[in-house]
Amino acid sequence: MAPAIGVVTFPGSQDDQDALRAVRLSGASAVPLWHRDPDLHGVDAVVLPGGFSYGDYLRAGAIARFSPVMESVIAGARDGLPVLGICNGFQVLCESHLLPGALIRNGGMLFVNRDERLRVESASTVWTADYAPGQEIVIPIKNGEGRYTADERTLDALEAEGRVIARYLDNPNGSARDIAGIANAEGNVVGLMPHPEHAVEELTGPYPGPATDGLPFFTSILKHLVSVSA
């Protein structure tokens, strides 16, 4: 049986269906998870999708972080469950303290929606192993609060430990040190502001391309799950 990857739907999630589709395209079994249900239904990995969970009330991700499903996701992540947070999912992971730092209002106050060039800095996480370190890719971003921030000590530690997994080539929002995505120390939890699930098919990916640069996030985790279950 193919490994199962769950995608959480919160009230206000927007990209859960795209994330489920990306999981299916990679060859894994896609399992919808519901914010009020603490049962993870035996999934082997979890994706927290983009959107505006709970209307971004209070702070982006702040209410979602206390939802019943997140209690299970947080406990699982601490035991090594692979978790990928995309955009709002990244914000939820920071609010959960599974990842350090925070995502705040973009410099210039603009909501930025465009295809973004990134450099993959680390291929040593379970979500990025299918990339070559240093590989340049194109993936869409769409956010108003995507500016990564952390104190200098935390930023230095992230760099020293190789936990910056992707950087912007043309920083769209003032993110500290051009950071687009980071991992936890163990490498099972990854947060990313750009949307790999929107770059998985020729028809709907970035135009004129490359259109499918996001797919390796999903094939990376699939290969990892197959290898650990073999």
Partner 1 sequence: MARVVVDVMLKPEILDPQGQAVQRALPRLGFDGVVDVRQGKRFEVELDGPADEAALARVREMAEKLLANTVIEEFDVRVEA
In sequence order, the β-bridge partners of residue 136 are: 119
Cβ proximity of 45 and 225 under 8 Å: yes
List the one residue from 13, 106, 125, 212 that touches partner 1 (CB under 8 A): 106
Active-site annotation holds for 35:
no
Three-state DSSP state, 191:
strand
List the catalytic residue out of 35, 95, 121, 195: 195
Taking alpha carbons only, the member of 177, 188, 181 closest to residue 165 is 181
Contact residues for 227 (Cβ-Cβ < 8 A; gap 6+): none
Structure tokens at 95: 């609010």
Active-site annotation holds for 197:
yes
Structure tokens at 160: 């020293």
Nearer to partner 1, 95 or 121 (CB): 95
Nearer to partner 1, 21 or 65 (CB): 65
Q: Is 96 in the site for partner 1 (CB under 8 A)?
A: no
Active-site annotation holds for 94:
no
List the catalytic residue out of 87, 94, 145, 224: 87
Q: Is 58 in the site for partner 1 (CB under 8 A)?
A: yes
CB burial class (10 A; 0-12, 13-18, 19+) of residue 139? buried
Backbone dihedral angles phi then psi of residue 69, each to the nearest 5 degrees:
-65, -35
List the one residue from 66, 68, 202, 227 that touches partner 1 (CB under 8 A): 66
List the one residue from 12, 32, 38, 174 that touches partner 1 (CB under 8 A): 174
List the one residue from 2, 4, 104, 112 that touches partner 1 (CB under 8 A): 104
How far is 129 from 125, CA to CA, in rounded Å?
6
Q: Is 150 in the site for partner 1 (CB under 8 A)?
A: yes
Residue 68, Cα to own-chain centre: how many angstroms?
Answer: 20
Q: Is 177 in the site for partner 1 (CB under 8 A)?
A: no
State the nearest-atom distance from the C-beta of 156 to partner 1, in Å. 16
| Residues recognised as catalytic | 87, 195, 197
List residues binding partner 1 (CB under 8 A). 58-59, 62, 66, 94-95, 100-102, 104-109, 149-150, 174
